[in-house]
Amino acid sequence: MAKHAPVKITALDTYDIRFPTSRQLDGSDAMNPDPDYSAAYAVLRTDDPALAGYGLAFTIGRGNDVQKAALDALRPYVVGLTLDEVTNDLGGFAARMVGDSQLRWLGPEKGVMHMAIGAVINAGWDLAARRAGKPLWRYIAELTPEQLVATIDFRYLSDAITPDEALQMLRAAEPAKSARIEQLLAEGYPAYTTSPGWLGYTDEKMLRLAREAVADGFRTIKLKVGLSVEDDVRRCSLVRQTVGPDVAIAVDANQRWDVHAAIDWLRRLEGFDLAWIEEPTSPDDVLGHAAIRRAVSVPVSTGEHTQNRVIFKQLFQAGAVDLVQIDAARVGGVNENLAILLMAAKFGVRVFPHAGGVGLCELVQHLAMADFVAITGRKDDRAIEFVDHLHEHFDDPVTIRDGHYLAPTAPGFSARMHESTLVEYRFPDGPVWSEQTVAALH
């Protein structure tokens, strides 16, 4: 071996990690009554034992094994690459997986295979940021416009945004970047909270949590809706009375309705000055969202299940949304989310990133903060979702203070879980699951 042999990716280790969250009805909504928040977790090992990259795909339980199998299928695309091949060419690193003709057939660019590719791409970005000694938001923000654009696949986007337009937007932001970094470090980034609003909670628990949220500095609260319109009217009314007129209330139907049903239901909720209705119908239904938006005064939003940049493009082109969610672990990694953020900026659509689940807060904060610094310069007219679940399993958990995410300072993408979590929650043989199995037998 040569003295200066380059550091290489030596392994892609994968894990099926599940948390038994269904036991408390945390995370219950109109479409997902009993989720067990889970992660198909990916680690890019290198022959430097101190350096690895971490990523994950988030699922809600069954099928997390399929998601892990999709991660396993990506091993030949990454093992053996040098560190330089990954971190100096994150565009190429992503394109080899996204563009592989045989894997592409399994989507294209959607569902299990795309989420797995996204997780491995994100692990590559984590590796690059760790190597550079920067938190990911800052690593992205300090790329040159040319470097950033080179990571993005503009295929299918050129009727909405071109690489040249993206370059111009990024160059326009350059002079303000260092001041924005200081501002972000001082102020944090606004958060909103969904913790009070799960459908499985009693009114009393919901109102107690809403009061606590306001006391904790949150200016927006989100409630799950969609099982019973009478319940939703009552819950919105109670929360509005409790928090007063100055705290924003958003609602989330988690894809529950058909188009006409959404319109009828939302007309019943128009009196509560809602900040937005999230996922009123199928995430695939661009024209349906546009029809709902034309028919009701509640601002319309979707995005956490939006499969890729092509659907986002159409949401923008059709004027189907007032704002969007992005999700760090559903689309093709940081690269595709950068394309989505650039389109949102061009079309003037505000982004309220989706989080919660397992590690989604840890991940997506970096994208919102990079957007503030390098793209839009906006943060006080938007907010990142915050749910107070499962952060204790991460090495670098999010920090919330006075309703704001504090900017991470540790290197990387914050997705690394504790080694003990990987042992304890491994499905089906970790002690949390094997003990449950034992308990069920008695």
Tell me whether strands 384-386 and 400-401 are parallel, antiparallel or unpaired: unpaired
Nearer to a second copy, 141 or 157 (CB): 157
156 binds a second copy (CB under 8 A): yes
Q: Which amino acid is at 288?
A: G
* Identified binder of a second copy from the candidate list 39, 56, 86, 112, rule CB under 8 A: 112
* Residue span binding a second copy (CB under 8 A) among the ranges 3-11, 114-122, 166-174, 430-438: 114-122
Q: Shortest Cβ distance from residue 318 to a second copy (Å)? A: 6
Cα separation, 366 vs 218, in Å, equals 19
Q: Which residues contact 38 (CB under 8 A, 6 or more apart)?
A: 16, 17, 18, 19, 58, 59, 60, 61, 64, 358, 427
The amino acid occupying position 25 is: L
Given the residues 68, 222, 224, 389, the one annotated as active site: 224
Tell me phi and psi for residue 194, to 5 degrees. -105, 0
Minimum separation from the CB atom of position 303 to a second copy (A): 14
- Residue 240, judged by CB atoms within 10 A of its CB (0-12, 13-18, 19+), counts as middle
Residue entry with tokens 């944090």: 188
224 is catalytic: yes
- Binding pattern to a second copy, positions 204-243, x when CB under 8 A? ----------------------------------------
- Tell me the window of 67-75, 244-252, 385-393, 425-433 that interacts with a second copy (CB under 8 A): 67-75
Contact stretch for a second copy (CB under 8 A) within 155-163, 184-192, 268-276, 295-303 = 155-163
- Nearer Cβ to a second copy (195/281): 281
* C-alpha–C-alpha distance, residues 136 and 355, integer Å: 17
Cβ atoms of residues 266 and 296 within 8 Å: yes
Residue 431 interacting with a second copy (CB under 8 A): no
Helix (H) or strand (E) holding 323: strand 323-324
Spell out, one character per residue from 305 to 344, where the chain touches a second copy: x when CB under 8 A holds, - when not. x-xx-xx-xx--xx--------------------------
Contact mark string toward a second copy, 25..54, x via CB under 8 A? ------xxxxxx------------------
Question: What six digits make up the tokens of 296?
Answer: 């009701």
DSSP-derived pairing of the beta strands 350-351 and 38-46: unpaired
When binding is defined by CB under 8 A, the residue of 65, 153, 396, 424 that contacts a second copy is 65
Separation of alpha carbons 213 and 258, rounded Å: 32
Is 391 an active-site residue? no
Q: Which is nearer to a second copy, 46 or 59 (CB)?
A: 59
Q: Which stretch binds a second copy (CB under 8 A): 98-106, 210-218, 336-344, 380-388?
A: 98-106
CA pair distance 416, 48, nearest whole angstrom: 17
The span of 100-108, 189-197, 212-220, 399-407 binding a second copy (CB under 8 A) equals 100-108
Instruction: Give whichever of 313 and 379 is closer to a second copy, judged by the CB atom.
Output: 313
Strand partners, 248: 220
Give whichever of 102 and 202 is closer to a second copy, judged by the CB atom: 102
Q: How far is the CB of 16 from a second copy (least distance, A)?
A: 11
Asked if 120 touches a second copy (CB under 8 A), the answer is no
Q: Which of residues 243-272 bind a second copy (CB under 8 A)?
A: 255, 258-261
**Catalytic one of 134, 354, 393, 404:** 354
| Ramachandran angles phi, psi of 190, nearest 5° | -55, 140
Inter-residue long-range contacts of 265-272, CB under 8 Å, 24+ positions, other chains counted: 265/225, 265/226, 265/229, 265/232, 266/292, 266/296, 266/298, 267/296, 268/229, 268/232, 268/233, 269/225, 269/232, 269/233, 269/236, 269/298, 270/296, 270/297, 270/298, 272/236, 272/237, 272/240
Which amino acid is it at 17? I
Catalytically annotated residues: 224, 354
Residue ranges in contact with a second copy by CB under 8 A: 31-36, 59-63, 65-67, 69-70, 73, 100-116, 155-159, 255, 258-261, 281-288, 291, 305, 307-308, 310-311, 313-314, 317-318
